[in-house]
Amino acid sequence: MSQPDPVPVIAAPHAADAPVAHQFDDAAQQRNAATLGMWIFLATEILFFGGMFLAYTVYRYRFPEDFRHASAHTLIWVGTINTAILLLSSFTMVLAVRASELRNRVAAVRLLCATAGLGALFLLIKAFEYRHEIAEGLLPGSLFHFGPADGPAARLFFYIYFLMTGVHALHVAIGVVLLGGFALRAHRTRNLAGMATSIDLLGLYWHFVDVVWVFLFPLIYLIGRHA
């Protein structure tokens, strides 16, 4: 396998100082393999979330008016601010990946912390939103109560709402924990080069969670807004 690799690799010039495991020809191949593994994981995540998007699609098709009324109960400004926070966190994340590739350790640590902070802020706001919704009687269960204007499928909307945003929030929480751990590791390590691929992959995960929210936001918050 001495043929030159025709595949373009974005960080190949810097990957040279990462340790190479014995099963790989070189650092670039090792990095490509790791990146491919992450993309395969994300492809399974598309289908994992996809099942819930399918449930949403089927029931919204069956009960369009109930879904519209139920959606109007969600807090649109909270959802919009949280979307902006996640988009900004993707910005700090991509800058953290860039900083780690430029071997700028101080910037990488700060940007990882900033991303974790924005993720934690998202979760905090989401928690207040849940508390408000539970107090309003929107959590499916014995305390669930709705006005006469809301149809029977409003409960289904909120079941799907809590399921999808809950699973998404779990992904954000996992991301925040990983970001915090990575920031600590990057702060302590003498060899940031050895972490560059890991930070890149964490970035892929974080942006994917952002993409999921980009689709959740309009489907949950925006369908019942016009008269």
Site residues, other proteins (CB under 8 A)? 7-14, 17, 32, 35-36, 39-40, 42-44, 46-47, 50-51, 53-54, 57-58, 61-62, 76, 80, 83-84, 87-88, 90-91, 93-95, 98, 101-103, 193, 203-204, 207-208, 210-211, 214-215, 217-219, 221-223, 225-227
Which lies closer to other proteins via its Cβ, residue 80 or residue 189?
A: 80
CB of 16 to other proteins, least distance (A): 9
CB of 133 to other proteins, least distance (A): 19
Q: Tokens for 222?
A: 């925006």
Q: Is the dihedral of CA 217, 223, 226, 227 positive or negative?
A: negative
Which lies closer to other proteins via its Cβ, residue 7 or residue 149?
A: 7
CA 218 to chain centre: 16
Radius of gyration, CA atoms only, the chain: 21
CB of 205 to other proteins, least distance (A): 10
CB of 140 to other proteins, least distance (A): 22
Q: For residue 147, is it left (φ>0), alpha (ψ between -120 and 50) or beta?
A: beta
Rounded Cα distance, 75 and 152, in Å: 21
Question: Nearest Cα to 130, choosing from 168, 74, 60, 80?
Answer: 74
CB of 207 to other proteins, least distance (A): 5
DSSP line for 171-199: HHHHHHHHHHHHHHHHHH-S-GGGGHHHH
Which lies closer to other proteins via its Cβ, residue 8 or residue 147?
A: 8
Is-contact 31 20, C-beta < 8 A?
A: no
